[in-house]
Chain A
């Protein structure tokens, strides 16, 4: 039955967001249990009686009933065991057991959950795990697979993160206008990590990797769709993701190994995603804030231009110059130096590369090898060999060996 995994993927996260929002983080496990039980019921009932006419509505009804029963039990418990509380609550509000699974409340709940999970007091690693579980409806096994780690590790990590959500009493709500930019920055950083996790993961499970990327894009698109969160950096990040995702099919071979940019079959680049990337990049070009996502999206745009023009490399170089001023990262420093060699020549790039001093990074020696190729092939070979000794994955080693053979 292919329908249930599909519905699980699309509906589980909606049910859990709405229930979590309704119950609060104190009952996050209950929300998870009810969502899981709903699918358990579907598997059993549909297996016996066939698939209902409106499977999604069926799921929502069952989830609502289970949630109502829980709220009822909880109220009874409160009435009997904690009478004062019951008296106080009954005076103002009668217990309301109705669960709102309307499209609008689903979206609102998911957005609010996004901000709650990406709260400054939750560690980034835990934010990713919680996002995958609650916002994307990933199973523990899938999360473990994406992180190449054991299920127990993920379970522990999620358990601690949920404890933290409770301890810190984090509200499930959109932040106010005054703090939205700061809070949005954390949400974007998490979505960016989520995307990168899929894009650069060393997991061999290609489907999971791709899903991670598309989930990050889906969540980012939800932010673009909401008028409070539709800000320039959000559009820039979505643009960046579209440009990168456009090369998803071209950058991996049949065995899931990396194909270098220069060797990619450009007919496999997704023209639709490239044009969407361009659209969101335009949308991001308002206001005065130039975020790292703007710069990275612009670099990604130039990378969709296959022709090796002077203009392309000069633009990429200046974008990296700016990006490194906002935030240093070794990979950005290496890419900047590669762009420098294309824009200003190899001699200058060699001098600059040797200043980077990233001596435990195999990409550093690969870059030096590339730069010396044709200028001093003996040195080039030495650098490639050093890179080979530092490279960890088989794909990286094969790539470097090919370069040595070419000299």
Chain B
């Protein structure tokens, strides 16, 4: 088993304002999905969600606002799962609720060295 980082990306500026009920339903989908991975004993780290704000620091000492200077998509969070292969990691990622919100999941193998 290797560890894979799942990075959740979406254009959060396009996310409509949600009612509390919709937010609750969304949160349940995330919890059920993470719970499903944990129930398969394939969760290496639940990870974190990131705030929508951010700063980008460049080599010439300029600092810009927002984590997404050039692209509209930003990272909303990450988790680490255990899998035997990219194919198996992708199977786990398929249930991620962000896919239904127009977002995507980047799957990256974590180097063991």
B interface residues with partner A (beta carbon < 8 Å): 28, 31-32, 34-36, 38-41, 43, 46
CB contacts (< 8 Å) of A314 on chain B: these are: 28
Asked whether B35 lies within 8 Å of A355 as measured between CB atoms, the reply is no
Q: A336 is contacted by which of B28, B39, B43, B46 (Cβ under 8 Å)? A: B39
A interface residues with partner B (beta carbon < 8 Å): 314, 317-318, 320-322, 324-325, 328, 332-333, 336-337, 340, 344, 352, 355-357
Asked whether B32 lies within 8 Å of A325 as measured between CB atoms, the reply is no
CB contacts (< 8 Å) of B35 on chain A: these are: 317-318, 320-322, 324-325, 336
Task: Decide: A328 near B41, CB < 8 A? Known: A352-B36, A355-B36.
Answer: yes
Give 24 pairs: A residue, B residue, CB < 8 Å, sorted on A: A314-B28, A317-B32, A317-B35, A318-B35, A321-B32, A321-B35, A321-B38, A322-B31, A324-B38, A324-B43, A325-B38, A325-B46, A328-B38, A328-B41, A332-B39, A333-B39, A333-B41, A336-B35, A340-B32, A355-B39, A355-B40, A356-B39, A356-B40, A357-B40
CB contacts (< 8 Å) of A340 on chain B: these are: 32
- Inter-chain residue pair count (beta carbon < 8 A): 46
A383 to B39, CA, bound (A): 20
A356 to B38, CA, bound (A): 10
- B interface SS class: helix
Write the nearest CB–CB distance from B70 to chain A, whole angstroms.
34
- A interface SS class: helix
A340 to B39, CA, bound (A): 11
Write the nearest CB–CB distance from A324 to chain B, whole angstroms.
4
Identify the interface centre among B36, B40, B46: most chain A CB within 10 Å of its CB: B36
Asked whether A344 lies within 8 Å of B32 as measured between CB atoms, the reply is yes
CB contacts (< 8 Å) of A357 on chain B: these are: 40
Asked whether A318 lies within 8 Å of B31 as measured between CB atoms, the reply is yes
